[in-house]
A and B are shown apart, each in its own frame.
Chain A
């Protein structure tokens, strides 16, 4: 009986989020997903729900006020994670907006309790929780903190992992009675600078495990949300250390001789020069030399599209052939409002994909221009 309790960590299904959380979401925890309108709270909740819900771990999504359920279901289905086959089986929806409008928090709490006792969901989502907060300010209503405490107590007793989803502005701060009760607080936001908007995620609080601190970049696509941790996962395997004195030939004979046999393995080298001075020629030669030696490579480009790059740059025809053979990966990164974290992630994935030992970024200027202003 002296053994410490082991808290299971649930995989959230949101790429990158488990790393930020410190390995996943603690089972039976009571969490708040907060943020301003449009920052992805409902989407991330649905993404987690569809990933985590199984026949053994059923989910209950309770909508209260805010986005009408018909619209929520209509829009959430546009994401690939939405699985209609799970609906009414491992994923159940319940709308209690009418109960809140007509009777208040007591009846909403009773409705949640009744449903939880009847169906024993292991995952419970309450959206939008802020509408409950606003409604609770009416005289004679159950106090919000009391409501939250009872809800937390009840759902934890029923071994449910719970998420309250609510609209909170950043200026309201984190000192809120709801946040005090919560085991976890995930804060979503959108950083605006000049014309650029970057989605952000912060784990403000998570009891019982070490999350990665700081504000992480987030992207939304048809597949849902993806988080780019600002620090590498400390548990991920590190690259084997290069042997002392090991060098990689550039393929430029005189230069290799001047460098003592090539560029030391693991080094980052900046090639600087005016337009037309041969920077791309040199880096292409570096990649081709590596492939001759049996290595693989990645070229990340920002200013030209891959086909244009291979048509116009020296050795381009050879590069095209190597791409087709899977020895070289051309990574084209030129969306607007790119983040450093996202670029790192894409580069790391490309390196892993082809087993690259040589990487070229062409060019740093192009990279900087592709970054959202907040990252420059």
Chain B
């Protein structure tokens, strides 16, 4: 993927929420936006599974992302993640957000291809992710 995932995730976080909103709220908003959009293509269950895996993988760097039982939220992984993000300081939240989103996008890219993922991310965040793929006539 030619996109710098970490830099893109940082810009996504900055683009979400109102000025002065808690970083954790912006992170949850961004996760909800991308998962709702991709669920239309991949299905709710498929996206939940991918998101769960992204959180679990990211918890190797940020162990507090999963609860003591090692779970990442079951049926509502974003809600559960939001609750854990709310307990952290803004810098830690931003770092965790960047890692989880990069992991999620990377996983999806390995499954359905980077070109397709970029198209879909452009639909979600047109001002952040370039949509420069040209359609074949």
Assuming the contacts A70-B111, A74-B113, asked whether A88 and B119 have C-beta atoms less than 8 A apart, the reply is yes
Assuming the contacts A84-B133, A86-B135, A89-B135, asked whether A69 and B43 have C-beta atoms less than 8 A apart, the reply is yes
Is A297 close to B, CB under 8 A?
Answer: no
Is B6 close to A, CB under 8 A?
Answer: no
For A88, the closest partner residue in chain B by CB is: B119
Bound state CA distance, A84 and B46, in angstroms? Answer: 20
How many chain-A residues does the 8 Å CB contact rule pick out? 22
Assuming the contacts A55-B135, A70-B111, A74-B111, asked whether A87 and B116 have C-beta atoms less than 8 A apart, the reply is yes
For B110, the closest partner residue in chain A by CB is: A74
Bound state CA distance, A77 and B116, in angstroms? Answer: 10
Q: Would you call A84 and B113 a contact (CB within 8 A)?
A: yes
Q: Would you call A73 and B112 a contact (CB within 8 A)?
A: yes
Q: Would you call B135 and A83 a contact (CB within 8 A)?
A: yes
Bound state CA distance, A14 and B45, in angstroms? Answer: 33
Quick one: which of B40, B46, B135 has the most chain A CB within 10 A?
A: B135
Is B1 close to A, CB under 8 A?
Answer: no
Q: Which of B42, B113, B119, B134 contacts A69 (CB 8 A)?
A: B42
Assuming the contacts A73-B112, A95-B46, asked whether A87 and B119 have C-beta atoms less than 8 A apart, the reply is yes
A85 / chain B contacts, CB cutoff of 8 Å: 115, 119, 133-136
Q: Which of A55, A73, A88, A98 contacts B123 (CB 8 A)?
A: A88
Q: Would you call A70 and B46 a contact (CB within 8 A)?
A: yes
Q: Which of B42, B44, B122 contacts A70 (CB 8 A)?
A: B42
Nearest-neighbour CB distance to chain B for A148, whole angstroms, equals 23
Assuming the contacts A70-B112, A84-B115, A87-B116, asked whether A98 and B43 have C-beta atoms less than 8 A apart, the reply is yes
Q: Would you call A88 and B43 a contact (CB within 8 A)?
A: no
Bound state CA distance, A132 and B76, in angstroms? Answer: 27
Is A68 close to B, CB under 8 A?
Answer: yes
Is B120 close to A, CB under 8 A?
Answer: yes
| Residues 74 to 122 of chain A near chain B (Cβ within 8 Å) | 74, 77, 83-90, 93-95, 97-98
Bound state CA distance, A55 and B45, in angstroms? Answer: 30
Is B39 close to A, CB under 8 A?
Answer: yes
Q: Which of B40, B46, B116, B136 contacts A68 (CB 8 A)?
A: B46
Q: Encode B16-55 as 1/0 by CB contact (under 8 A) with A.
A: 0000000000000000000000011111111000100000
> Could you list some 27 contacts between A and B, CB below 8 A?
A54-B137, A55-B135, A69-B41, A69-B42, A70-B50, A70-B111, A73-B111, A73-B112, A73-B116, A77-B112, A77-B113, A83-B135, A84-B116, A85-B115, A85-B119, A85-B135, A87-B116, A88-B119, A88-B120, A88-B122, A88-B123, A89-B119, A90-B135, A93-B40, A95-B39, A95-B40, A97-B43
A70 / chain B contacts, CB cutoff of 8 Å: 42, 46, 50, 108, 111-112
For B42, the closest partner residue in chain A by CB is: A69
Task: Name A's interface SS.
Answer: mixed
Assuming the contacts A69-B46, A89-B135, asked whether A94 and B40 have C-beta atoms less than 8 A apart, the reply is yes
Bound state CA distance, A73 and B113, in angstroms? Answer: 9
A95 / chain B contacts, CB cutoff of 8 Å: 39-43, 46
A68-B43, A70-B42, A95-B42 given; name 4 further pairs at CB < 8 Å. A63-B43, A84-B115, A86-B136, A89-B119
B137 / chain A contacts, CB cutoff of 8 Å: 54
Closest 8 CB pairs of A and B: A84-B115, A95-B43, A85-B133, A73-B112, A85-B135, A88-B119, A98-B44, A93-B41
| Residues 274 to 323 of chain A near chain B (Cβ within 8 Å) | none
Q: Would you call B111 and A84 a contact (CB within 8 A)?
A: no
Bound state CA distance, A37 and B108, in angstroms? Answer: 26
